[in-house]
Chains A and B, each alone.
Chain A
Amino acid sequence: MNYLLHIFIMINIYSILALSLNLLVGYAGLLSISHAAFYGIGAYIGTLSIMNLGIPFLPSVLLAVVGSVLLSFIISIPSLRLKGDYFVLGSIGFQIIAFSILYNWVGLTRGPYGIPGIPRPSFFGLTIDSIPAFFIFSLLTAVLCAVLIYIITYSPFGRLLKAIREDETAAEALGKNVTRCKITAFALAAGFAAISGVLFAGYMRYIDPTSFTMMESVYILSIIIIGGTGNLSGPITGAVLMIFLPEILRFLQIPDSIAANMRQIIYGLLLIVILRYWPQGLLGDHKLK
């Protein structure tokens, strides 16, 4: 039972990550490969706030969100001058820098040793101290994030992001402040990714920088490419599929050493097939160009 709940908890965490990245990729048309950086920044700020500063859980979540949003400006303001492939490279650059800082600033993050013993989330006298409780907590958090993202995207703001995705020159000629919108989309995506990070840290009770690598960013991007972008159902479907897939391999009795490689091959094949035959993903509205 706990095994299944663990899978569902991971689906909840990755759903938030996928939905938030979808704000950038599916709505604003910004192909970013730096989402794991904001996920990690959120996890570390939240954890360090709780463990080093003794700040309670909920204010720590808030700090993680604010910190991640502020850091998002570092990438969004200069890199939004870049277009297309150059923007992608810029985002990879930020991802690498963020990982290097998490890995090498040993005095603060303990670097490769990671941070063990992270306390369980605790608020209003309630401690989330069992896997079933964490499942409910993560589900409620994911639903809350999905509702917020739904309201934000199915609004004139979401429509404006789509217009910018379609043709930013035309949007600008209609009097729309394209740069501000993109910066806002980046900040929102970073904020929601930080929530996933704090959730992940509270669940695993241990974090180290290897959970927030560029491969992780690619993995989150793969989720929304496979599930689809431009709506809410695509990213959630992608998260369910991509989290379940390796678990299915587990039941095929394949040795771990082979299963890990097979997983990568299956992800790669899935990406190629989806991009070739369903450029909008399984349930998406927007074709990635």
Chain B
Amino acid sequence: MSILELVGVSKSFDGVKAVDSVSLDFSANKITALIGPNGAGKTTVFNLISGFLKPDEGYIRLKEKNLNGLTPFRIARAGIGRLFQDVRIFKEMTVLENVMAAFDNQVGEKWWVPLIEPFRVKKQEREFLQRADELLQFVGLLEKRDDFAESLSYGQQKLLSIARLLASDTEILLLDEPTAGVSPAMVPQILEVIISLRNRGKAVIIIEHNLNVVSEIGDWVFFMDEGQVTYFGLPADVLGNAEVRQAYIGL
């Protein structure tokens, strides 16, 4: 059953249709890959889902709730988290602080609460600290918890972004090229984390150029070209399609 759906969504920039009447649906417990050549509109779809762009036409629904017009932070609170292609970690904060900052419903984020209810804040901080350690353990960064995030390798920064995303506890995870720029030795660790997220019941949506990764972990694939979804289906079917191969990798 679909948890998130896009119906007839279009977006143009200066008259050029970056996304053209796209309809997509995504389910929990599944890794759905969005593939296609550069400029196909994949990242624009992510920007539309996460509210950084507003659709010109069509609508986006999360469990029957229309997301059109909501700001990015409200969409995130509704349950859609995003891993950016360029990681966007909080560089001058420690690994632990990165994760701690991501938890939702923090009473201490209202400035006056630490002044008038310090013990309530401390109690919640202890709970978050424990959960943050669990998440860092999950992504294999526990021993780096007190290091500044900027000191991590690029692959570790991607893992930290995933841990941060998990701290925000969203049901739908948009992962924009999670393995791009990562050393080959680290790719299996990232894929393992993504698979276990799917197994935890999350709806994982990835944009990925590495077709080996798509065939290895993908449950469903949408192929986009020139702003439209032209093929979709099981990874083996889509990746085996001659027209897809021609459009994508010129084979």
- Seen from chain A, the residues whose Cβ lies within 8 Å of a Cβ on chain B are 148, 151-152, 155-157, 159-160, 162-163, 165-167, 169-178, 181, 184, 188, 230, 285-287
Contacts and interface: CB of A to CB of B under 8 A. Distances in A.
B121 A173 contact: no
Interface residues of B, number: 38
Contact of B73 (A148, A162, A167, A175): A175
Interface string B38-73: 000000000000101000000000000000000111
17 contacts: A148-B115, A151-B118, A152-B114, A155-B108, A156-B108, A157-B109, A160-B106, A162-B97, A163-B98, A166-B92, A166-B93, A167-B90, A169-B88, A170-B89, A170-B90, A174-B73, A184-B111
Interface string B66-97: 00000111001100011010001111110001
Nearest to A156: B108
B29 interface: no
B177 to A, nearest CB: 16
A144 to B, nearest CB: 12
A103 B88 CA distance: 45
Contacts of B52: 169
B217 to A, nearest CB: 23
Interface string B166-190: 0010100000000000000000000
Nearest to A170: B88
Nearest to B98: A163
B88 A163 contact: no
A174 B111 contact: no
A269 to B, nearest CB: 27
B100 interface: yes
Nearest to A154: B114
B123 interface: no
Contact of B92 (A162, A170, A172, A173): A162
Nearest to A167: B88
A282 B90 CA distance: 22
Contacts of A176: 73, 109
B101 A173 contact: no
Which of A155, A172, A188, A230 gathers most chain B CB within 10 Å? Answer: A155
A117 B144 CA distance: 60
B125 interface: yes
Given A167-B90, A174-B168, A175-B76, A160 B101 contact: yes
Contact of B97 (A159, A167, A174, A286): A159
A286 B148 CA distance: 12
A174 B81 contact: yes
Contact of B90 (A152, A166, A177): A166
A82 B15 CA distance: 26
A155 B89 contact: no
